[in-house]
Amino acid sequence: MENHNINLTLNIWRQENPSTEGRFEEFKVSTSPDASILEMLDELNNTLEAKGERPIAFESDCREGICGTCGVVVNGHPHGPLPKTATCQLHMRTFKDGENLYIEPFRAKAYNIIKDLIVDRSPLDKIIQSGGFISVNTGSAPDANIHPISKETATIAIEAAECIGCGACVAACKNASAMLFVGAKVSQFAVLPQGQPERYDRVQAMVNTMDEMGFGSCTNTYACEAECPKGVSVTNIARMNRDFLKAKITSHALHF
């Protein structure tokens, strides 16, 4: 049977722990064009382990483009060169036979490399913990028609909520800004009636935590939107900025 595998040279970032110096290590692989990049790494790890060598550490969970934990940078692109595609959905047929691939972790001041391709993205979790929720009274489910929501409003909220929190926007930004992530998490509540009671406290808390975690500022290059696997729009950043400014003005007026 004819072998239809493609041959690739992989330059993969290896780093034992956060305190050691990292480097690219070269590997030659022959893999099916139908394999995902994670399946290819699984095959490579099987080979390394069979030789008694340390396997490459990387993260994954759903492998269906839903959770975003698989995120790595491939040839300079967070999640790889295909638009609106998470790393786990990136197949080797995307690349040409004989091509060189550089695979490395997401880079940002706020992300510490744990090992090889794994980074600590807990600063994003801390931003969510500071305000990415709504407070409601528990009890029986409310009537679905209590708060009529237009199709346009629902669409805005749903599109913002598509953010999977993978952190690719941070890795794509030259300033390592998390504003697309925060803007999406603010917007998914800001346009809905359920999110109004805490709307302005929420945006202040989340933006302040973003700054505390060491994320940079936005300079409107739109690289975040271009590399987002879900195509989350930068209009969410504009909405967040408007809410943050209004929150500051209102807070100043109340304390004047």
Domain-embedded: residue 1:
no
Q: Is the pTM of this model over 0.85?
A: yes
Residues 185 and 242 in one domain: yes
Residue 37 pLDDT = 97
Domain-embedded: residue 140:
no
Give 200's strand partners: none
- CATH code assigned at 242: 1.10.1060.10
- CATH code assigned at 43: 3.10.20.30
Compute the distance between CA of residue 124 and CA of residue 229 in angstroms, rounded to an integer.
17
Residues 83 and 158 in one domain: no
Residues 69 and 107 in one domain: yes
Residues 44 and 129 in one domain: no
Tokens matching residue 168: 């690719």
Domain-embedded: residue 171:
yes
Residues 158 and 242 in one domain: yes
Residues 39 and 69 in one domain: yes
Domain-embedded: residue 231:
yes
Report the amino acid identity of residue 122.
Answer: S
Number of structural domains the chain divides into: 2
**pLDDT in 10s for each residue of the chain, 256 residues:** 456 899 999 999 999 999 999 999 999 999 999 999 999 999 999 999 999 999 999 999 999 999 999 999 999 999 999 999 999 999 999 999 999 999 999 999 999 999 999 999 999 999 999 999 998 877 887 777 788 899 999 999 999 999 999 999 999 999 999 999 999 999 999 999 999 999 999 999 999 999 999 999 999 999 999 999 999 999 999 999 999 999 988 864 444 3
Q: Are 68 and 164 contacting, i.e. CB atoms less than 8 angstroms apart?
A: yes
Residue 256 pLDDT = 38
Residue 208 C-alpha from the chain's centroid: 20
Residue 41 pLDDT = 98
Domain-embedded: residue 206:
yes
Residues 127 and 233 in one domain: yes
Residue 137 pLDDT = 79
Domain-embedded: residue 142:
no
Q: For residue 213, what are the domain limits? A: 121-134+149-255
Residues 83 and 184 in one domain: no
Residues 94 and 164 in one domain: no
Residues 44 and 85 in one domain: yes
Give the burial string for 162-182 (b: 16+ CB within 10 Å, else e): ebbbbbbbbbbbebbbbbbbb
Residue 2 pLDDT = 53
Residues 107 and 15 in one domain: yes
SS3 of the chain: the string is CCCCCEEEEEEEEECCCCCCCCEEEEEEEEECCCCEHHHHHHHHHHHHHHCCCCCCCCCCCCCCCCCCCCCCEECCEECCCCCCCCHHHCEHHHCCCCCEEEEECCCCCCCEEEECCEEECHHHHHHHHHHCCCCCCCCCCCCCCCCCCCHHHHHHHHHHHCCCCCCHHHHHCCCCECHHHHHHHHHHHHCCHHHCCCHHHHHHHHHHHHHHCCCECCCCCCHHHHHCCCCCCCHHHHHHHHHHHHHHHHHHHHHC
How many of the other CB atoms lie within 10 Å of CB of 50? 8
Residues 61 and 163 in one domain: no
